[in-house]
């Protein structure tokens, strides 16, 4: 009977000890609500962008450290990673268009039409 009471007291103490403990509060109490995390697909796309740029981007040693969990727009995320000297890098969600471009198949003439007036030395329009 004494063993039974000892086990009962130990079980009660164990239960009270571990049910009274809580995990640490993840919010440090700075008053700001926790940030929203981007959807899983967006995080996967952003991770892919970062991995590829870390591997093949000319300025890969200057890539900023940006947490992909909080970037909701992959295009904006890509733009944030670009070096200010980079004039040629782009991102597209149309794989067919990109592959055709690599094959030399373009659907544009390579220039844009712009209309305007020519002026002579006095500032008067000509033609």
Q: What does the alpha-carbon distance between residue 77 and residue 53 come to, in Å, rounded to a whole number?
A: 12
Per residue in 60-119, pLDDT (tens digit) is 888 889 898 898 999 999 899 998 998 888 888 888 887 887 787 777 776 777 777 788
Q: What is the pLDDT of residues 20-31, one digit of tens each?
A: 656 655 555 565
pLDDT digits (tens, 9 = 90+) for 1-20: 556 677 777 766 666 666 66
- Compute the average pLDDT of residues 41-52: 92
Q: How confident is the model at residue 121 (pLDDT cuts 50, 70, 90)?
A: confident
The DSSP-derived string for 45-100 is HHHHHHHHHHHH-TTGGG-----GGG---HHHHHHHHS-TT--S----S-HHHHHH
* Mean pLDDT of all residues in 54-61: 90
Where is pLDDT greater, at 24 or 56?
A: 56
Cα 42 from Cα 72, distance rounded (Å) = 7
Residue 26: what pLDDT? 56
SS3 of 13, please? helix
pLDDT digits over 79-95, tens only? 999 989 988 888 888 88
pLDDT at 44: 92
């Amino acid at each position: 009977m004494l063993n039974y009471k000892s086990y009962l007291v130990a079980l009660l103490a164990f239960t009270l000890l571990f049910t009274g403990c809580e995990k640490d509060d993840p919010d440090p109490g700075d008053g700001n609500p926790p940030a929203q995390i981007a959807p899983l697909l967006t995080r996967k796309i952003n991770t892919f962008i970062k991995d590829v740029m870390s591997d093949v981007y000319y300025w890969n040693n200057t890539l900023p450290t940006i947490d992909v969990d909080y970037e909701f727009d992959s295009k904006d995320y890509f733009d944030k990673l670009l070096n200010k000297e980079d004039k040629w890098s782009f991102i597209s969600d149309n794989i067919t268009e990109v592959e055709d471009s690599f094959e030399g198949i373009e659907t544009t003439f390579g220039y844009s039409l712009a209309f305007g007036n020519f002026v002579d030395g006095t500032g008067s329009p000509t033609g």
